[in-house]
Structure formats: C-alpha cells, structure tokens
Structure 1
Amino acid sequence: MEYDNKITTYKIKEDNYKVFALLSNYLNHAPDFIKEEEISEIAQNGVSSEYAFKLLLASAFGLDIVDNMDDKELFNKYFDQMIHQLDANIYYNNPYYKNIKIPTIKIGNSELKYENYKPFEGFVCNDIFQTEEGRQIPQVGFFDTEFMFPAILENDRIWMTITPNEIETMKEAVDQAFGSVLTYGLGLGYYTYMVSEKDNVESVTVVEMNEDVIHLFKKNVLPQFRNAHKINIIQADAFEYAGQHMTQGNYDFVFTDLWHDVSDGIDMYLKMKSYEKQSPDTVFTYWIQKSILCYC
C-alpha cells in the first residue's frame, strides 16, 4: 500500500511538471495562437467555446486524448479546472476599472498606458489551485473579445498591470484589510484604491522604491481616488523599511506585492516573512502566496 502511494505521488508530481512545462512554453511564446475561427468551427458541433479552447490547447500540446489513456487522464484531471472563459463585463465593472482612467504618458524608463489581450489569448488568471491529492492546477483564462487593461512598462517591458489575475489574487487581502494598512509595492494603486474605499480602513501607507512610478501615480492616478486623504506614499526600499521602520507604524494589516510572478517572488517572500516576528499583533498577507507555497 505504501509503495502504491509513493508511485501515485510520483506520477502526480510528473503530471504537475508536465503541465507546467507545457503551459510555460505556451504562455511565454504563443499565448494568442488559438484563433476565433478555430473555436467557431469546433463549437458548431455543440460544445462550448471554453471546451473548444481546451481541445485546441490539448492538441497543440501534442496530447492524444482519444487513444492515449495517459493523455486522456491528464486532460480530465487538469484541463477542466485549469481553463476558464471569462466575462469581460465582470472586470470592467470592477470599481477601479469604472472609476479610474489611465492616460498614456511616459516618465523616465516608466510608461503608463493601456495594453490588451486579444480574443482567445491565454493568460494566468488566478492562483494555482492545489487538489487534495496534490495536483497543482494553474489557472488560465481567456476572453472572446479584446480586453483592455492598465499597465506600467519598464524599459518597454510590461512590469505592473491590473488584469483579472491581480483582481482575483488580491480579493482576500482586500477583504481582510482593516485599521492602519501598510502595503509594500505601489504599481497602479489597485490594492491601495480598493482598501482605501473600505470604511473600516483608517489609513493606507504605501512603500515604493521607484521614483518614476510614484510620480506617475501621484500626478495621474491618485487625484481620482475618492479617499486620497487616507493615503501616504513613502519612497523607500521595502526590506529596509520593514527592518527599520515597520514596527514604529503600529500597523494592523500588511500586504506585500513586490514580485512579478512566482519565479522572482520566492526569495523576497521568504525574506519579508522573516520580519513578521517583529510585529506579532499585525496581520501579514502576500500577493500570490498560494502559488508561491506550491514551490516552497
């Protein structure tokens, strides 16, 4: 029995690795290769656009889900919970999207603008979901229409965005925030805006190192915040502030969002976690923590 469990665990780990490798190649190199006409052709057979997307993606990955039992199992165990057709209106009705308008402007190496997902372009849309048996299922979304989202580019590379992924992965940290809030990382101010709108949040202190990002935000975004009076922005290195100043702020709630994704986030996450013991009465939360913990 123990031997069988070890075999099963090993197989699940192999499946996890295979799915992550396939998805990484797809999302990094050809996230928009699935076309609307291909979806429409398959959907004529009475299946949903979401299922048609799954079939096309599986085929592109070289999976034979008809005759190969291993491939069929992989498809059934992962794809159903992994691929999601999203409703653009749900996100366009988000308070930030409705109330904050982003101009196109560039300062230094930082550029503020709208980027877009093409119809049927795949993207990460939420934290990794881990099943009871240990399967780690990435969350990939797509829209059937073009979807515009705010972004900050650094040296022409997308660095900070407000996409469905940010909205979904920050929900818990927004809902839980209270009292005096400290957040590491400014970005486009999505988290800052959402918590400043809460009646039970008295103040929001933002620690951000990038002077250009702060300037872009203060000039073009912050004036649109209804509760801008709650917000204080400090230009500083996050870890220096955590080590030298955080305990003096008597913060009730801390949210850290300093990394681009899991790959560059693990070390920073662990480093910031080490400061928690200095503030035992403070609640600490971290962006995409569920995904990071899958790798720790």
Structure 2
Amino acid sequence: MEKSDWQYENMPDFLQDRSLGNARIEQFTIFEHDFRAIYRDGLKPGKKYVRLMIDGEIFMSDAPMEKESNYNVIDDAFGDILLAGLGIGLILLPMQKKEEVKSITVVEKNPNVIDIVGGQLPLNDKVEIIHADIFDYEPIRRYDCIYLDIWPDICKDNAGDMSNLIDKYSNFLTDKPDSWCKAWQEDYVMGNMYIREGEGAFDYS
C-alpha cells in the first residue's frame, strides 16, 4: 500500500455526521470536476472523506496531505505520549495500536470536539482525553513524545505560538535519548522549508 495510507484507518467508518455547538463532523465526496482537490491535493473522486468544521471553517480532514505530513510522527511515536489537539483522531488511532506506545494523553480545548469525535472513535485504554487549552495546561508528569497539532493550516503567523509551546513542553520530556517534542509542520512554519501559499486544511466544500 502507499506510504501515506498503510497505517491509517478509514475515518468514515467511524465518524458519522454530527454537530454540537460550533463543531461539526461531516463526510464528503470529491467528484470528477473538483480539479483542485484532485490534481493539487491528491483526493480521489468517489472516495468518502471526513472533515472537522469549527465555526463553519475546515479545521482538519483525512486528506492525503494530512496523512503524509504526520507519517513520521506516528512512526516515531513510543512510550508515553502527550498529544495537543484531538482533531478527527487521524493520528490517534494508529498511535494507540503501536506496541511501543504505552499511553496517550490528549489535550483538547473544545468540549464539542471531544463529544462528537471522541464519542465515536474506538479508543482503547491507553488513551485519556483531557479538556484543557494546551497554552494553559500544566502537565503533572513527563512524556517520551510530545506532539503539538492544534493549527488548521500551515502559516508563518503561527510561528511565535509554535515556538513558545515547543519551548514550554520540551521541559516535560523524559531524559531518554530518543524523546522528542515537535509541532505539526514546524519546519515550514519556522521558515526552514518552502510551502505554497495557503496550504493546510483545504476548502473542499
């Protein structure tokens, strides 16, 4: 199977259309005339996808870019993990299946997302979801892996917050030589790599 698909679940199998407050989960399908979605973003006509909408804007989906940009994160995950942002659970489901992973603490600030997403996912006993804002949250333990995935798109405007969070949470890593603290697409946001204007949670409406 393709690199970006082998470890991921088919999210429409788990997430049905639901709305609560400012959050909505909805399935969607790409058609032959959706040229931007097909040729730029790699979506397949006729295939069902899932997106999380917050205040009417796409916050996350299971588009190929989302999968590809998180491949190494899931591959490197081990031990006790702190995950900022529940999203649609795209990376959470494969992480919880890894034998190397002992626990996953998910910090999600939107209680509506916890309800409509967390309430539908087949989570195992490794996973704990905490309702809190990652900017204010104070861990009571250390973690082997910390992943900050709270931004809907790849934008240099996020660089300051991203840098501050990485600095803060790096202090909560274990002393294992392979422990790590990363943010989603930090190399692009911090200006070390080239990114196309506006790339991120694309509008497939």
- Please, what TM-score do these two structures have when normalized by structure 2? 0.79
CA offsets per residue over residues 29-77 of structure 1, 9 Å max, x none? Answer: xxxxxxxxxxxxxxxxxxxxxxxxxxxxxxxxxxxxxxxxxxxxxxxxx
Aligned-partner residue type, residue 130 of structure 2: I
**1:268 aligned partner:** 161
Please say if residues 9 and 94 of structure 2, whose CA atoms lie closer than 8 Å, have aligned partners that are also in contact. Answer: yes
3-state DSSP of counterpart to 2:9: helix
Partner of 2:95: 195
Cα distance change on mapping 1:145 and 1:173 into 2, 3 Å: same
- State the SS of the aligned residue for 1:142: coil
Higher radius of gyration, 1 or 2: 1
CA RMSD across the alignment: 2.8
Whole-angstrom distance in 2 between the partners of 1:121 and 1:115: 15
C-alpha deviation, 1:148, in angstroms: 2.3
Task: Measure, in 1, the Cα distance between the counterparts of 2:8 and 2:27.
Answer: 17
Task: Confirm whether residue 122 of structure 1 aligns to residue 14 of structure 2.
Answer: no
Which residue is equivalent to 1:106?
19
- Following superposition, the deviation at residue 160 of structure 1 comes to 1.9
The structure that is helix-richer by fraction is: 1
Structure 1: segments with no counterpart, 5+ residues: 1-86, 126-139
C-alpha distance 145-210 of structure 1, shift in aligned 2 (>3 A): same
Q: Which blocks of at least 5 consecutive residues in structure 2 are unaligned?
A: 194-205
The residue type paired with residue 84 of structure 2 is: Y
The higher relative CO (CA closer than 8 Å, separation ≥ 6) is in 2
CA distance in 1, matches of 2:109, 2:11: 28
Check the 8 A contact 2:11/2:90 in 1, yes or no.
Answer: no
What SS is found at the alignment partner of 2:136? helix
Per-residue displacement from partner, 1:233-277 (whole Å, max 9, x unpaired)?
011110111xx32xx322110111011112253222112122145
Offset at 1:218? Answer: 2.8
Tell me the matched-pair count: 187
2:141 maps to which of 249, 252, 255: 249
Residue 279 (structure 1) aligned with residue 172 (structure 2): yes
The reply to whether residue 176 of structure 1 matches residue 90 of structure 2 is no
Tell me the equivalent position of 1:12: none
- Shift in CA distance, 121/92, structure 1 to aligned 2, threshold 3 Å: farther
TM-score (normalizing by structure 1): 0.56
2:113 to 213, 220, 230: 213
- Does 2:105 align with 1:239? no
Q: Distance in 2 between matches of 1:211 and 1:253?
A: 24
* Alpha-carbon distance between aligned partners in 2 of 1:262 and 1:177, rounded to the nearest angstrom: 22
Assess, with a 3 A threshold, how the Cα gap between structure 1 residues 153 and 179 changes in structure 2: closer, same or farther.
same
Distance 1:113 1:93, change over 3 A: farther
Identity value in percent: 22
Contact 1:121 1:143 in 2 (8 A): no
Q: Give the conservation status (yes or no) of the 8 Å contact 2:25–2:117.
A: no
- Over 3 Å counting, the alpha-carbon distance change for 1:214 and 1:290 in structure 2 is same
Q: Could you tell me how far apart the structure 2 residues matched to 1:285 and 1:91 are?
A: 19
